[in-house]
């Protein structure tokens, strides 16, 4: 078996290490020539997860046709804003039945498409597509810290195939047929994590962060219910599990971005310091737009967008959230409450 891993950032590097460690041949595509050359020379990524030695079965290239040559399946690990362009580059080099699993977390700006919808739009045949999401920090997965994740696929056999591919003694994989819910969880939780980071940067406490996380989860579930997702997905690994990890971990780039902004930094300065993409910075726009298209209000998402792009103060944003009109806690989440109980 030979697998193409498309994207050699932190998550792509961790996935390559995981698969290569299982004895699978990995053809890792890096956009930057120096990353590919560094990996092939010393079995380490010179920019991301530098302390992780990659298995000998991992071979890197900056030519996408080489990465895709003769592979059994494709693992997409590019930033969400690059999925469409990367898929267009892949199109001449793959068949329309080659299984593809997407690990990018976002909603495409402008089209409001989830990532597998973008892949279907470019590559066709959604039956061979899947999405992977869960509380999976690359730093921990690469060091074989016990972790778990979810594979959501349109076709059950594709989901099972990717489940077998990724499953290892330290990386437990579950399947879930709810592609819509898993992908929405992946995109929305990053925005909530930015809000959690803003709270940290302002010096607020556990009460504030817990409130943001639970009300953020309500926003996620409300959007999911509107778009036909299973509400239980938001209680699982891709939902509350990933939300906890992303809002609380020192590894979380989205939480780190929020903290950086609250302390006077910018999106640009954070990217320059970390060399990483915080997906929440894009998703706060695309998820907010998607919600407005569906006639929904996501107040936390909207305030994160206003703070990051419209000059709103983090303090003012918090005051606006706290000052909103009183609501029923389960409002809009597709949950029926027995008022006689």
Nearest to 125 by CA among 93, 91, 148: 91
The total number of residues shown for the chain amounts to 341
b/e per residue, 9-38, with b = 16+ CB within 10 A? bbbbbbbbbbbbbbebbbbbbbeeeebbeb
Q: Of the listed 22, 105, 189, 226, which one is catalytic?
A: 189
Rounded-to-integer distance, Cα 214 and Cα 241, Å: 12
Distance CA 79, CA 304 (A): 20
Map residue 69 onto helix, strand or coil: coil
CB burial of 327-338 (b: ≥16 within 10 Å; e: otherwise) equals eeeeebbeeeee
Q: Are 248 and 255 in contact (CB under 8 A)?
A: yes
Q: How far apart are CA 14 and CA 140, in angstroms?
A: 9
Distance of CA 259 to the CA centre of its chain: 19
**49, 10 in Cβ contact below 8 A?**
yes
Q: Is 209 a catalytic residue?
A: no
Nearest residue to 186 via CA among 225, 259, 241:
241
Apex 200 CA angle, 194 and 202, nearest 5:
105
Q: Where are the alpha helices (DSSP H) in 43-155?
A: 64-68, 83-90, 115-123, 138-141
The torsion region of residue 125 among left (phi > 0), alpha (psi -120 to 50) and beta comes to: left
Enzyme catalytic residues: 189
């Amino acid at each position: 078996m030979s697998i193409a891993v498309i994207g050699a950032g932190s998550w792509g590097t961790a996935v390559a290490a995981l698969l290569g460690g299982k004895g699978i041949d990995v053809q890792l595509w890096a956009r930057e020539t120096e990353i590919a050359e560094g990996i092939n020379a010393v079995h380490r990524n010179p920019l991301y997860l530098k302390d992780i030695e990659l298995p000998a079965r991992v071979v890197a290239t900056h030519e996408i046709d080489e990465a895709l040559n003769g592979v059994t399946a494709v693992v997409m690990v590019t930033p969400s804003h690059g999925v469409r362009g990367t898929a267009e580059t892949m199109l001449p080099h793959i068949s329309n039945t080659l299984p593809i699993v997407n690990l990018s977390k976002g909603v495409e700006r402008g089209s409001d498409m989830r990532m597998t919808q973008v892949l279907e739009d470019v590559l066709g045949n959604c039956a061979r597509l899947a999405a992977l999401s869960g509380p999976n920090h690359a730093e921990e997965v690469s060091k074989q810290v016990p972790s778990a994740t979810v594979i959501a696929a349109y076709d059950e056999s594709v989901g099972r195939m990717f489940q077998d591919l990724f499953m290892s003694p330290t990386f437990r994989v579950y399947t879930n047929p709810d592609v819509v819910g898993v992908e929405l969880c992946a995109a929305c939780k990053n925005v909530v994590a930015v809000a959690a980071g803003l709270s940290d940067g302002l010096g607020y406490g556990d009460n504030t962060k817990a409130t943001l996380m639970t009300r953020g989860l309500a926003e996620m579930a409300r959007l999911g219910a509107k778009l036909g997702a299973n509400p239980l997905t938001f209680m699982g690994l891709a939902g509350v599990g990933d939300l906890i990890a992303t809002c609380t971990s020192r590894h979380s780039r989205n939480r780190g971005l929020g903290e950086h902004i609250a302390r006077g930094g910018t999106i640009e300065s954070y990217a320059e310091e970390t060399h990483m993409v915080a997906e929440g910075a894009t998703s706060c726009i695309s998820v907010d737009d998607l919600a407005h298209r569906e006639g929904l209000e996501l107040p936390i998402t909207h305030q994160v967008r206003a703070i990051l792009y419209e000059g709103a103060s983090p303090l003012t944003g918090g005051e606006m959230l706290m000052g909103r009109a009183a609501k029923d806690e389960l409002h809009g989440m597709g949950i029926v409450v027995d008022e006689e109980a």
